[in-house]
Chain A
Amino acid sequence: MSQPKSLQEAERKVFRTAYQDGLWDVFLGCFVLMFALAPLLSASLGDFWSSMVFLPFWGLVALAIWLIRKHVVAPRVGVVKFGPARKRKLRSIGLVMLVVNVVALVLGIVFALRSPVPGQAVPIAFGLIFLLGLSIAAYVLDFRRLYLYGLLTGLSPLVGEWLYTQHGVAHHGFPLTFGLSAAIMILTGLVIFVRLLRDNPLPDPQNSARYA
C-alpha cells in the first residue's frame, strides 16, 4: 500500500478513502436524474404531483445510501472522525450549497414570474449554477470528479435547449441531456463502489469481534 509523503497528504488520503466510495456519485447522479425525469412526469402527472413524486424518491435514495454506508462500507473500510479543519471545510461546503440552492430557487421564481424569458437566459443561468456549485464543492472537498460532473450538468440545459430549438427534441432535450449526465455519474459511482467491495473484503469476523 502506498503511504503518504506528508501530513497534508495523509489527511487528504484519509478523507478521500472515507468519502470517495462511489456513493456520492450515485447520490448526485440520482439528483441530476430528477431533472431528466421531471419534464416527463410533469407531462403525465402535472406539475404538482410530479414534484410530490420526487420527495419520496429523494428520501429513499438518501436512506438507501445511508444504510449501505453503515452496513456495507463501514465494516470494510472502517470508521473515521475527521479533525477540526476538515469539519470546518465540510460545514463551509454545506453553507455554499445552501446559498447556491437559494440562488437557484430565487432565479426559478423570477423566471417563472417573467415567463417567457427571452433567449437563452434560463439555460445559461442554471448551467452556471450547476457548474459553479459543483466546482466549488470539488475544490473544497478535493473531489476532482465533481469538476467533470459540474461541466456535464452545466452543459445539460444548454445542449438540451439547443437540441430543442435546432432539432425539435421534446421537453427541451432535458430527458436526454440530464439523463446522459446522470447515467455517467451513477455508472461511475457503481464502478467505484464495486471496486471498493472487491479491494476491501470483510475483515476476519474473529478479529473484528476481538478488536471491536
Chain B
Amino acid sequence: MAKTHSEPELRPLADLDPIIHAPARLMVLTYLYVVESVDYVFLMRQTGLTWGNLSTHLTKLEEAGYVAIEKEFRGKKPHSMIRLTDLGRAAFREYKTSLQQVLNGLPDDQE
C-alpha cells in the first residue's frame, strides 16, 4: 500500500493577503522589500510594468498603507521616491511565512 500523506492544511491559502497576492504587486513589493526606496523609473525597469499599470498597483498599495510615496527634491526638481512602510514590511513578511508554511506542507509528487 502506498504511503499516504497527511492532508496539508490549505486554509491559510484563502487567508493570504489579496493586496499582496496579485503577481504585479507581489513583484513590486519584492523589490521594495530589499531596498530602502526607489523611484518610478527604477521600479518600471525592474518589473517590466508600464507607467499606467505600475501607477495603478502603487495606488492600491498606498491605499492599503503598505507603501509610502514621498516627494524629495533633486536639485530644484521634485522627485518621488517609493518605500515600503512598516505595515507593508510586516504584511509582506507575514504573507511570505504563510505561503511558505502551506507550500512546505505539500508533498513533492502526487501518487
User: Which size bracket describes the interface of B in this complex?
Assistant: 20 to 34
Known contacts A204-B51, A211-B55: A81-B37 contact under CB 8 Å:
yes
Q: What would be 15 A-B contacts, judged by CB atoms less than 8 Å apart?
A: A1-B47, A10-B34, A14-B46, A17-B46, A78-B38, A78-B42, A78-B43, A78-B46, A80-B35, A81-B35, A200-B45, A203-B44, A207-B51, A208-B41, A210-B51
Q: Which positions 67-100 of chain A face chain B at CB distance < 8 Å?
A: 75-84
Q: Which residues of A are at the interface with B, using a C-beta cutoff of 8 A?
A: 1, 3-4, 7, 10-11, 13-14, 17-18, 75-84, 200, 203-204, 207-208, 210-212
Any A CB within 8 A of the CB of B11: no
Q: Is the CB of A3 within 8 A of B27?
A: yes
State the CA gap A18–B40 with chains docked (Å).
14
Q: Which residues of A contact B80 (CB under 8 A)?
A: 211-212
Q: Is the CB of B33 within 8 A of A14?
A: no
State the CA gap A76–B42 with chains docked (Å).
8
Q: Is the CB of A79 within 8 A of B36?
A: no
Measured CB to CB, the nearest residue on chain B to A77 is B45
Any A CB within 8 A of the CB of B78: yes
